[in-house]
Amino acid sequence: MSADVDNPEVTSEEAKEFLLPQKPKGESGWKIFSKGIILENPVLILMLGLCPVLATSTTARDAAGMSAAVLFVLLMSNIVVSLFRKIIPNEVRIPVFIVIIATFVTIADYTMQAYQPGLYKVLGIFVPLIVVNCIVLGRAEGFAYHNGVWPSILDALGKAIGFALAIVIMGSIREILSKGTWFTLKIAPEAFQKNAVLFFGLPPGAFLVIGLLKAGINKIFKREG
Amino acid sequence: MSQGLLAILFGAIFVNNILLMRFLGLCPFFGVSTRFSTAIGMSSAVLFVMTFATWITWGIYQLVLVPGSVLLGGILPQGLVFLRTVSFILVIAALVQLVEMFLKKTVPVLYSALGIYLPLITTNCAILGVAFLVIDNKFGFLQGTIFAIGTAFGFGLVMILFAALRERLELAPISKSFRGYPIAFIAAALVSIAFLGFTNMFGISP
């Protein structure tokens, strides 16, 4: 069931390192936290968990809502998995992780439905689908199961901020180009808002924006693929 | 919802294509669509599991979880709808393992063709996504089945289209920073624009 690991879909070595169990390396807390934000950004560098990034980045506000849900689930599941890591038997660890993650996903799902019904309607099934997001399961298996609570919290925060950074950048670009607004603030001149490029709010716009973003990142970091 | 079955089928294949319009199941889309043969293998595995998973999750939801259900209605009148996410993912994970064992024993030919793709499907968000969508759209059993089959065909169609595209992209002279993912995304954007043309077919909009 640990599908992500020996998986032809995950090709790069860095992505494997992200998902496979790593022994504690004795890295400083700051390094554990900061790795996930830029250098090992789960979305823009490792290309993991793409579905919500493309689907819920129509506007910056949707993107921020999705990031908050992912932050909550990732942080709580990392904390609980690392607290119980000595009790969870190795053979059934993946089903146990899934149940832990699904519990927090359900909490996030119902909380958002109750307090942010408008946002919940836009995000739709992508909130319950956090349960199969490979960033969350990958960190439970790859980090929290082998590390203490404090490093696991730092790791979850770093990875969630990296995810949020990627999806909010996508959401901002798409919202500004397709509506002329940013977090629903009118920032572009009236003339642009009337003739905004609707294309970027549609599904093909999402593919184009992330393709160009990734190419730009490859250029800056001198990477390939 | 009393949509015609034909509208559900074509809506699922073209108008609301699972990969290009709904953005579900993108990991196998970008990971496995590099070769024609792997695209076909993955698509048939998805068709198989998606149909089974929709049947089982629909049954569990209608018989056990829904308020006033047949099995638990007497004991728990409020229902257990909040267990939807956790029960669906566990059932799908177990189902995939069962299907794998069953095929290995009874149809080894099919197993050798689909074997390596089956375990990947557990974490494929398309399967769980379709299970949720069938519930959210209030589909009946037949409608749900048609929706699942249509979605799987839509998945297969785009996977195969894209595999053919990417086999050519490998030989194309592409600038260094665009190789791999970026050019695949841009190609997906172009195919997605083509699929936008299906909007409002059968009066269904995305």
Q: How far is A26 from chain B (nearest CA, A)?
A: 31
Q: B163 CB near a chain A CB, below 8 Å?
A: no
Q: A50 CB near a chain B CB, below 8 Å?
A: yes
Q: What total of structural domains would you count in chain B? A: 1
Q: What total of structural domains would you count in chain A? A: 1
> Looking at the domain assignment, is residue A89 inside a domain?
yes
Task: Tell me what pLDDT residue B50 has.
Answer: 92
> Looking at the domain assignment, is residue B46 inside a domain?
yes
Mean pLDDT across chain B: 85
Task: Tell me what pLDDT residue B205 has.
Answer: 64
Q: How far is B175 from chain A (nearest CA, A)?
A: 10
- Minimal-distance CA residue of chain A relative to B132: A125
Q: Across residues B78-100, what is the average pLDDT?
A: 87
Task: Tell me what pLDDT residue A3 has.
Answer: 40
User: A128 falls in which pLDDT band (50, 70, 90)?
Assistant: very high
Question: Which residues from B are below 8 Å from A223, CB to CB?
Answer: 177
- Alpha-carbon dihedral B86, B90, B95, B101, rounded to 10 degrees: 180
Q: Is A179 exposed, middle or buried (0-12, 13-18, 19+ CB in 10 A)?
A: buried
Instruction: Show the tokens assigned to A35.
Output: 């790795």
> Looking at the domain assignment, is residue B205 inside a domain?
no
Q: Across residues A53-64, what is the average pLDDT?
A: 93
Instruction: Show the tokens assigned to A160.
Output: 């969630």
Question: Which residues span the domain enclosing B56?
Answer: 5-197
Question: Which residues span the domain enclosing A157?
Answer: 27-175
> Looking at the domain assignment, is residue A199 inside a domain?
no
User: B147 falls in which pLDDT band (50, 70, 90)?
Assistant: very high
Q: Is the pLDDT of residue B16 over 60?
A: yes
What is the DSSP code string of A14-35?
A: HHHHHHS--------HHHHHHH
φ, ψ for residue A25, nearest 5 deg: -100, 0
- Minimal-distance CA residue of chain A relative to B98: A1
Give the 3-state secondary structure of residue A54. helix
Task: Tell me what pLDDT residue A2 has.
Answer: 39
> Looking at the domain assignment, is residue A209 inside a domain?
no
Distance CA(A177)–CA(A156), nearest Å, equals 32
Distance CA(A41)–CA(A165), nearest Å, equals 9
- Alpha-carbon dihedral B155, B157, B159, B165, rounded to 10 degrees: -150
Q: A1, B122: Cβ pair inside 8 Å?
A: yes
Distance CA(A147)–CA(A139), nearest Å, equals 11
Q: Across residues B20-25, what is the average pLDDT?
A: 89
- Give per-residue pLDDT as tens, B168-188: 888 889 888 888 889 999 999
> Looking at the domain assignment, is residue A80 inside a domain?
yes
φ, ψ for residue B164, nearest 5 deg: -60, -40
Q: B34 CB near a chain A CB, below 8 Å?
A: no
> Looking at the domain assignment, is residue B204 inside a domain?
no
> Looking at the domain assignment, is residue B179 inside a domain?
yes
Task: Tell me what pLDDT residue A7 has.
Answer: 52
Distance CA(A40)–CA(B188), nearest Å, equals 25
> Looking at the domain assignment, is residue B110 inside a domain?
yes
Mean pLDDT across chain A: 88
> Looking at the domain assignment, is residue A97 inside a domain?
yes
Distance CA(B47)–CA(A25), nearest Å, equals 42
> Looking at the domain assignment, is residue B127 inside a domain?
yes
Task: Tell me what pLDDT residue B122 has.
Answer: 67
> Looking at the domain assignment, is residue A9 inside a domain?
no
Task: Tell me what pLDDT residue B206 has.
Answer: 60
Q: Across residues A48-56, what is the average pLDDT?
A: 90
